[in-house]
């Protein structure tokens, strides 16, 4: 019998109740290990798959908890937007039964690896699924951020912040800041300034093989790095943030029922018609 992880934030009653109700059904097909994302770490063991109940944030958290031990992940959408989750609540049993019988494929997507260097030493590092954001955490003032790519000085931004996004994260914070949409199979980074003072500072797409270095130049406090909107680390003067493609990849289960363009039509209403009003 396959051994799988079942994960979710069980402080949320809706998720707790759904998993509790589904557990007897799940145990007919697989052996389950239940993980509360709000507090638990991944227990030791060899697992074939992770089934994540919640929104995209739960999938991001799961990927980070798995760290270098990535296994196929499938999400059951119980959040608000749900770009990453493959299954809806209504079809959970039908879709999981299909998956447990082996009728699925795996889509591998790039992750980013970010590090903070302080006085020549690495003080913090993390993988990210969607993005790394350098921004001010308190007062709404512009900050200065220097960008280098493969050691070459590219630009110094005066902006509210700077986003370094993966293609998978192009539908997240990067999109809301005016960044382009990238198909998730690309090997690339999107660099998006947030509300730049100089209007010619536009989003930039670079190869995923590049090494990106960011130096916050503002000396004021409360400038930090946020990974996937979940992990925050405050930066000090002289710190350097280094971002590159991770050696590991996230593995997303594909049941063949959703496509990238279908999700855009559904979530961003690309299939809608213009409203010309009434004459």
H and E: helices and strands count for the chain? 5, 17
CA–CA gap between residue 32 and residue 162 (Å, rounded): 40
Q: Where are the alpha helices (DSSP H) in 141-275?
A: 173-176, 260-267
Beta strands in the chain (DSSP E): 2-8, 30-36, 49-54, 73-77, 87-88, 105-118, 121-128, 131-136, 143-149, 152-159, 161-165, 188-194, 204-207, 212-216, 223-227, 231-234, 240-254
**Residue from 163, 142, 149 nearest 217 by CA:** 142
CA–CA gap between residue 224 and residue 251 (Å, rounded): 29
With 0-12 / 13-18 / 19 or more C-beta atoms within 10 angstroms meaning exposed / middle / buried, residue 36 is middle
Catalytic residues: 56
């Amino acid at each position: 019998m396959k051994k799988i992880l079942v994960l979710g934030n069980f402080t949320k009653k809706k998720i707790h109740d759904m998993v509790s109700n589904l557990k007897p059904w799940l145990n007919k097909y697989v052996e389950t290990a239940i993980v509360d994302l709000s507090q638990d770490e991944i227990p030791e063991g060899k697992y074939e798959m992770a089934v994540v109940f919640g929104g995209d944030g739960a999938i991001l958290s799961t990927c980070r908890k798995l760290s270098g031990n990535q296994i196929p992940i499938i999400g059951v959408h119980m959040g608000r937007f749900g770009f990453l989750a493959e299954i809806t609540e209504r079809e959970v049993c039908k879709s999981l039964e299909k998956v447990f019988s082996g009728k699925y494929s795996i889509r591998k997507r790039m992750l980013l690896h970010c590090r903070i260097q302080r006085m020549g030493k690495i003080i913090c590092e993390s993988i990210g699924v969607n993005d790394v954001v350098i921004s001010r955490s308190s007062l709404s003032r512009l900050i200065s951020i220097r960008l280098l790519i493969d050691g070459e000085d590219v630009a110094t931004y005066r902006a509210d912040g700077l986003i370094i996004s993966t293609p998978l994260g192009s539908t997240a914070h990067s999109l809301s800041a005016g960044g382009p949409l990238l198909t998730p199979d690309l090997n690339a980074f999107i660099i998006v300034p947030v509300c730049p003072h100089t209007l010619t500072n536009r989003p930039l797409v670079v190869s995923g093989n590049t090494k990106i270095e960011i130096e916050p130049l503002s000396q004021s406090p409360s400038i930090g790095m946020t990974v996937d909107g979940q992990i925050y680390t405050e930066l000090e003067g002289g710190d350097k943030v280094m971002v590159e493609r991770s050696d590991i990849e996230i593995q997303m289960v594909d049941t063949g029922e959703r496509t990238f363009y279908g999700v855009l039509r559904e979530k961003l209403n690309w299939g809608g018609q213009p409203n010309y009003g009434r004459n």
